[in-house]
Structure 1
């Protein structure tokens, strides 16, 4: 591990892949986040450590740019590092490699969350030893705010169930991706033509919440999906296809 940069190898198993052998988009998201979590553990402010102070990391925004999805039984390398840290928020970047080829680049914005007060606050744990890499940027742009002020059509209703919850007792953000992709035509998902996935995690969801999954087609290559509760958006995801 280069100073401040963490690497982890993942051999893709059958549960992580679609019927065509490609890595599932939600599993890609999960792999990135688990790798980030392991790096945070090494740095001393991972989930287990900061739960002692009633804090947790929550994902606020993420941009994933995909050149090619890895396949079943391939071993990929995920490399991650912190770009910057401001006390209550952190930007973390990733790259996914197969051999020497970079398949995927990602950037993410994280916030520190008080699990009792259910609000953001500065991290209590020390970060003086963190080595940031402010100039090591892999994506074409930053993870931005998605414009949700568009005309959506509801495509599915959903109720949050126990298997959606994580250790912080809310629906894990990876599940949001699953709900959206499961509402789409499988043919559109399995083509491997998605160029980028951008996500905004706006509000948490809890067990039993009734939500609507909505779609807005912006143009031939771009669509926006929302997960809303009582007409209030909790999640936005913008998909851009390869031209």
Structure 2
């Protein structure tokens, strides 16, 4: 069931077995995907979703995201995702989320999006009208904004990867959810399945295409914090910082 009220969109998701880890917890990349699909459906209703703006050779691309996790949802739960636009500046938009199970908030998130010209492969102002959008500048769920991750740390390469067809989306580049998968797949499964990750922060810096060879790298900052990068040659394309519960 979907619901729209005063600029706030709600979507229910019943979690199936393909979305969950062997321990029944929702995969981190699937959580990211659920948030983004909910955002996309809200944008569709507002008239500037993917299908509508592709006609003008534009697309939304995710620039930054911060996800704060109290508890991961689990297999067969029906969760509610609420999302709304915090602000809109023409070429960029801040969008917030909360994930509920019943009345309990499990996850809060904030994200920064940019409008991308799919032919010129660069950011530009959205052509579609946004005059009817109801922003919620004061409805902020996370403890802080999604910030720039400091990638100037000593990384160690933990895996090589080549972008394959199943990584691509309708804009003909590797979907950003796949970046998460590549990083989490390179980690110790016990660490991923522990349920101790409390924040996931991501910076999406450059797109990747079919056949690109990349390296997945890790920098352990301390017992609670680690930063991961995806690089092509010497250039970073993605940064992700994980913070564990103390």
Give the alignment's TM-score, normalised by structure 1.
1.00
Q: Over the residues paired in the alignment, what is the CA RMSD in angstroms?
A: 0.3
Equivalent residues, number: 243
Task: Please list the CA deviations of residues 124-177 of structure 1 after superposition, one character each: whole Å capped at 9, or x if unmatched.
Answer: 000000000000000000000000000000000000000000000000000000
Question: 1:231 Cα deviation (Å)?
Answer: 1.6
Corresponding residue for residue 160 of structure 1: 163
Question: 1:224 Cα deviation (Å)?
Answer: 0.0
CA distance in 2, matches of 1:65, 1:154: 27
Corresponding residue for residue 203 of structure 1: 206
- Return the match for 1:222 from 225, 230, 240: 225
CA distance in 2, matches of 1:182, 1:143: 24
Partner secondary structure for residue 5 of structure 2: coil
Matched, 1:24 2:27: yes
Task: Please list the CA deviations of residues 183-236 of structure 1 after superposition, one character each: whole Å capped at 9, or x if unmatched.
Answer: 000000000000000000000000000000000000100000000000210000
CA distance in 1, matches of 2:118, 2:235: 22
Q: How does 1:8-87 map to 2 (within 5 A)?
A: 8-87=11-90
CA distance in 1, matches of 2:79, 2:138: 24
Runs of 4+ off more than 2 Å: none
Give the alignment's TM-score, normalised by structure 2.
0.99
- Return the match for 1:184 from 183, 187, 197: 187
Q: Which structure 2 segments of 5+ residues have no match?
A: none
